[in-house]
Each structure stands twice: as C-alpha cells, then as structure tokens.
A and B are shown apart, each in its own frame.
Chain A
Amino acid sequence: MFLFYWAILFLLLTGTIAVLEMNQKIPDMLEQPLHDMYADRIIIYLEDAGIMKEVLGDFSYQTEFCGNRNGFWLDNLSVFQGNDEFWGIQGLILLNHSLPDSSQLSEFNKSIMDGELCSSQKGGLWISEVMQKQSGFSCGDTLAFCLNDGTEVCDLTILGVFAEGDRAPHYYISEDVYQAYARFAPEDSLAITIIPEVFRDIFQMVSVLREQGLEFIYSEEAINALSMAFILFSAIVAVLLISLFSILTHLLQFYYNKRRRFFAVNAALGLDSRSTAKILILTAECLVLSALTAAFIAALFYVNAIRQYTGDLFEITAKNSFYSLSTILITLITVQADVALVLYTFFRRNKRINIIDVIREN
C-alpha cells in the first residue's frame, strides 16, 4: 500500500514538473528567432503589445542631408517622440501626414538640441512611407540634422519605415527584436506571432502591409492554441498540487495507523511526543524528496517528448534539456509548503497515542 501511494506521488510530481517546465519555456520558444530553421522569416512574440509601429524593412543605400549639404528641409511634418524605454524604442518617429503643430516642432527641436538622442546608442529615426516616397530614404540611411544654424550636426540612422493608415492604434516592435530582424535581413517575408488581445489590431496592420506587397503568414489557430495551452497548463499544475496535498495526507495517516503499536510501545519506553513528531516529519520528507528526485529525472523525458511534439506542431525549435531555475524553485517551494501544511493538519487531527490505547484495541 505504501509503495502504491509512493508510485502515485511519483507520477503526480512527474506530471507537475513536466507541465511547469513547459509553461516556463513557451514564451522563450516563441521569442527565439528562427533564423536557424527558416532563413527567410522570423517569428516575433509581442508581449502585452499595447502600442506598436508597423515596420517594413528595406536596406539599400545611404544618403545624408543637412542645411549645408545635399538634402532638403523637413517641412509639413509632425513629430512623435518615441523615447519609451519600456517598449525598447529610442528615437524619433516622423509622421508626414499633417501640418506641423508648433508645440510638436519645438519638442522635436528641443530633443535634438538637448543632444539626448544623438548621444544615445540606440537613437534613430522612424519615418513614414509617405516621407520615404517623397525623399527616397530607406532603412539604414543616416540623416544628419543641423543644429544651431549648422554649427552642430547630429546623425541619426533610419531604423524603420512604417505604414500609415487611418490613425489606427500604432504598434512598437522592440529594438532588439528589430535588430535581430535587421541582422538577418530577410528578403521575402515577415512572420509575426502575437497574443490574441492585439490580434485584431495586428490583422489590420497585416492587411495594410499586404497592400505594400509584403507577404505575411499568421495562424489564428496557433495563436489561440498557445493561449489555451498557457491557461490549461497553469490549471493542471494547480490541480496536481492540490491532489498532492490530499495524497500526502492519506499516506501519512496510513503510515501512522500502521505503526500505531510501534509509536505506542516506544512512548512507553520513553519516546516523547516531540521525537515522535520528528520521526513523522522525517518520514514525510524522505517519502516526498525521494519521489521528487525520481520525478525530476522522469519528467526530463516527458519534457523532451512534449517539446518534440510542439516543435512539430508550432514550428518551434527545441532547446537543450535543462530545467529552468524557476521550475526547480517553484516545485521545491510548493512541495515543501504542501508537506508543511499536511504535517500541520495531521498533528492537529491526531492526538498522541499511548500503549493504553493499543492495549485496549487488542
């Protein structure tokens, strides 16, 4: 009976660890660029993407402009300062679809003159496609801005060209993700995988970009499935841990009942209740830790199998088979908390037995 319960405990813990590990890894897997597998596209996972900018990539040529060099004066422009570190975007975003607001212009000038963006490693420009068409500039081009009537020059590189729509919500893509994209310079297509909350907005963006001739691939089913997977996995872990509490309680009670005579006789020989409690705690810990160790080993096989399966299903690369620290910590802490709760409940429920009770039972 004792082995039966241990086996249940082992299976329970194996399942919990495997599910926990998968849950930790899914966001990482989604964020990883797939340049290894797919040379012409990457998958970008956008977390809590409340606002993004549409970005097109086209790296071709260089030019420069300044009041004293070849170029033109910027006019009829609106400025949106994208200096939000949270979104990972640093630089200026120039919208060229309306008359400039004087306050926006002065803000633009102020930013340039403060040298804030010029000194930033990540400082850059994002320009609209309308501006692109007018000026002929493209991604990768460096524009020189003249300050103080040309005595100071600030170079800013164009990081992206975005599509302008009907003032739909704008979206940002994080700088490092974009750089990953830019580094591999995909030529044909851009694939974006996102959370369902912003799906409709992205769909709109996708539609706009499609009109630009860029091919987009997306899967609503995959998006929904992954979202469900998160919820399902979390629910499974919670159920498993509650079951663990119940099983441990039964197991400890079973063990105590089986060993009643042992504890009673030893109480008569001089074993006090504190020592009895120590024996029970040690027994519970040995049982749980042995099952946990075996479960960690067994779960590795399950995790690899699941990764293989999800890799085939969602086209995600499998990583090396090491547990993430969060999985280990969550498992250890939660299991110990479970054991503590079980022991507390057990000692409250079971009064100290003594030889008299045993004698009367016999």
Chain B
Amino acid sequence: MIICQNLIKEFGTADNIFRAVNDVSFRIEKGEFAALIGASGSGKSTLMNMIGLIDMPTKGSILLDGEETSPMSEKQRAALRWGKIGYVFQSFYLEEAYTVSQNIEMALLISGTEAPERKKRIDECLEQVGLLHKKEALASSLSGGEKQRCCIARAIANRPKLLLADEPCGNLDSENTEKIMELLTQLNRQGTTVLLITHDLEDAKRASHIITLKDGSVISDEK
C-alpha cells in the first residue's frame, strides 16, 4: 500500500537547514495496522504529512498503491487525498458552527458525491462510529471523544483505502482513548489500512507493524 524510499524533508534557508526526516524507507502492506512512534520532534508528523500528500518530500519517493506520487500535479494529489486517503487530526479540526452531518458532508462534497448518496453515506458513517443520535448536533456541543469520532466519520466518508491518524487520542482521556482505538481497530478489520502516529507505546501495541523514529530516522521497523 505505502512504499517510502529514501525520504528526506528539509526546512529552512540555505544557511540554516533543518532535516526533519532523514533518509527514511519502509513499506506498509495493504490491510495492515501500522504505528509510527517516536518522541516529539522525531519527524513522525512530517512523515505522515508527506504520506498523506499534504507536503512534498525534499528528496526520495512515495508510492501509494503502486503510484509514484512525486511527479503528480497538485490536482492529482488532491484527487488522491479525497479518493484514497482519510485523515484524522489530533485537534479534530471540525467546523464548530456546522452540525455533525455537515462536517461529514464536507468531505463528500469535495469528492463530488451526489446528494442522495451523500445522505445515505453520512448515516452509514455515523452509525459506524456510534454518533447517529448526534447527527444534527452542532460540532461545538460535542465532547472530546465525540468530536474525534466525528472526525473519523469524516475521514471514512469517501471509503478511503488508507486512514492516517495523527495522534488521534492526544487530547482524550483514557476512556475515550480506548473507544477511539477500538474504532480504528474495527476499521482495520474491515479492510482499511491504518497508519497511526503516536508517542504512546500502549496505543502502538494494537498495531501489527511498528516503525520507530528518532531524530528523523527509522531506528526500528518491527512486524
């Protein structure tokens, strides 16, 4: 599903270059539940942004489902983002003034889904994450755990093959953490490849493939 080859990401000016990702290579198979763990500043979020086609590597290549992503145009990358990738953020990034269903609908509008199909899909996603009863509630009225579930529902709305979860439990208590992790595990069982970014080893243990980063480099890659 994901093949990263000699990835390098540098920031800064010519006089002052900082290398956030340093020659990283690994492979994640289709249907795997993989975890990328490391301390703060180890480069895991940067790596995830590159895999999610939000950022471009300075050097190296990323193959997504067999497709080389580096030469792709901005439009092609955008199409892949709504077509094959779902993104779950640590800070949720929901539109607080919108309802739960409207937040999910945003993803479906971007992919060009027709109105009848959108309604049906919203209900399916909300049922899957256990938020159907909160369909018309404003996002601002949700608890932390509910917001993250809403975020997951938005991420799976377009039936992505790959789900990227960037510290999804970073702002949640243990009870909600357990619920979210269970949800991700369930999605993985249904066939979605899940790549989890976390600094918590306990969360990472749910994964079948653990990649450990330190100072931008892979120090271990265990399956």
Q: Which residues of A contact B (CB under 8 A)?
A: 261-262, 264-275, 354-356, 358-359, 362
Contacts and interface: CB of A to CB of B under 8 A. Distances in A.
B93 A272 contact: no
Contacts of B55: 354, 356
B83 A270 contact: yes
Contact of B81 (A262, A270, A358, A359): A270
Contacts of B45: 359
A268 B83 CA distance: 12
A269 B54 contact: no
Given A270-B82, A274-B75, 5 more contacts: A266-B110, A268-B52, A268-B81, A270-B111, A355-B87
B78 interface: yes
A356 B54 contact: yes
Q: Is the interface of A mostly helix, strand, loop or mixed?
A: helix
A64 to B, nearest CB: 87
Contact of B87 (A269, A274, A358): A269
A267 B79 contact: no
A351 to B, nearest CB: 12
Interface string B41-62: 0000100010010110000000
A272 B75 contact: yes
B87 A272 contact: no
Contact of A269 (B74, B91, B107): B107
A269 B75 contact: no
Contacts of A274: 75
A125 to B, nearest CB: 78
A271 B75 contact: no
A269 B83 contact: no
A269 B81 CA distance: 6
Contacts of A261: 93
A355 B85 CA distance: 15
A355 to B, nearest CB: 6
B172 interface: no
B149 interface: no
Contact of B91 (A266, A268, A354, A362): A362
A338 to B, nearest CB: 29
A91 B67 CA distance: 87
Contacts of B111: 270
Contacts of B91: 359, 362
Contacts of A266: 106, 110
Q: Which 4 A-B pairs have the closest CB atoms?
A: A270-B82, A272-B78, A270-B81, A265-B93
16 contacts: A262-B95, A264-B93, A266-B106, A267-B54, A267-B78, A269-B106, A269-B110, A270-B81, A270-B158, A272-B79, A273-B74, A275-B78, A275-B110, A354-B55, A355-B49, A358-B93
Interface string B72-112: 00110011111100010101010100000000001100110
Q: From B55, B78, B81, B82, name the one whose CB has the most chain A CB atoms within 10 angstroms.
A: B78
Nearest to B46: A356
Contacts of A269: 81-82, 87, 106-107, 110, 154
A113 B49 CA distance: 94
A268 B49 CA distance: 9
A270 B87 CA distance: 10
Contact of A271 (B52, B78, B80, B83): B78
A266 to B, nearest CB: 6
B40 to A, nearest CB: 13
Contact of A272 (B52, B74, B95, B154): B74
Q: From A261, A262, A270, A356, name the one whose CB has the most chain B CB atoms within 10 angstroms.
A: A270
A280 to B, nearest CB: 16
